[in-house]
Amino acid sequence: QQQVKQSPQSLIVQKGGISIINCAYENTAFDYFPWYQQFPGKGPALLIAIRPDVSEKKEGRFTISFNKSAKQFSLHIMDSQPGDSATYFCAATKGYSGAGSYQLTFGKGTKLSVIP
């Protein structure tokens, strides 16, 4: 049973455009939702994260929108740049409060290509 569903699998965006990646989760116990960015040959690195007590979090050109009732969250990349070309993974965990094993459940990833 896949607990975090991510779409699209791949995305091509023109430079300067908006990239949008969506995720949906099933487990209502999840209390922390990070996004990881992975460049080829590298390990994933934390990009931005949100807790369910807020509906939006913005860091620079990256914004997470969170809809608790729909159990969905999304990543928006504004003014997308070729350097943003990478694979993006959404994730969820029920470990933020300190309970649980804190394992992250990842989506299957979205390969983003930003073309000049």
Partner 1 sequence: GAGVSQSPSNKVTEKGKDVELRCDPISGHTALYWYRQSLGQGLEFLIYFQGNSAPDKSGLPSDRFSAERTGGSVSTLTIQRTQQEDSAVYLCASNIRLAFGTGELFFGEGSRLTVL
- Binding residues for partner 1, per CB under 8 A? 6, 9, 32, 34, 41-46, 49, 89, 93, 95-98, 101-109
Shortest Å, Cβ 102 to partner 1: 6
Question: Closest separation between CB of residue 52 and partner 1, Å?
Answer: 13
CA distance 55 to 7: 20
With respect to partner 1, which residue has the nearer C-beta, 17 or 104?
A: 104
Nearer to partner 1, 44 or 112 (CB): 44
* Terminal CA-CA length for the chain: 38
Residues 6+ apart with CB under 8 A from 66: 33, 50, 52, 54, 55, 56, 57, 72, 73
Q: In terms of CB distance, is 9 or 116 closer to partner 1? A: 9
The number of C-alpha atoms within 13 Å of 11 and in the hemisphere containing its C-beta is 29
